[in-house]
Structure 1
């Protein structure tokens, strides 16, 4: 299992932290942002694959920003997977 930290762009959280075991994501946490919603996202994605997270969350926009916390998580896990 490998640990990753990602600095998201265009959203409120300052950092997304998670572990990647193969292509399975664990221990997601966000620093900053809407605490309740981000805790919920973190629980929902526990044990999902990179592809599942992308399928559910890629392309979601928050208030017309062109991205969202969940979209940034999908980007983060894909970049981590590709860096292995």
Structure 2
């Protein structure tokens, strides 16, 4: 599943592009932001379970801000999971006739 997320205006990253397959992160691309940080986070997240990355990054701050590029990645992953679950639920309902 490919997912594009627009993060909070509090961070330098303008968008986060995700590829998730069977609950595993296949790729992460940050558009904007600090290249060293975002490339490092993207590289570390690749191959990990979505839930593990969310748990590790969801509360990472950046300076005095209430969020950060890593925390925004966690939010993007949460939304992607939610959409994936909704899609699976809709598909199951179509097959069962509910």
> TM-score scaled to structure 2, two decimals?
0.81
**Structure ranking higher on relative contact order (CA contacts 8 Å, 6+ apart):** 1
Q: CA RMSD in A?
A: 0.8
Shift of 1:7: 0.4
* Alignment partner, residue 81 of structure 1: 81
Unpaired segments of 5 or more residues in structure 1? none
Any residues of structure 2 matched to 1:38-53 within 5 Å, and which?
38-53=38-53
- Moved runs in structure 1, 4+ residues, more than 3 A? none
Bigger-Rg structure (1/2)? 2
Aligned positions, number: 83
- Per residue, is there more helix in 1 or in 2? 2
> TM-score scaled to structure 1, two decimals?
0.94
* Alignment partner, residue 30 of structure 1: 30
Unpaired segments of 5 or more residues in structure 2? 85-98
CA distances 1:30-58 after superposition (whole Å, capped 9, x unpaired): 00010111101110000111111012111
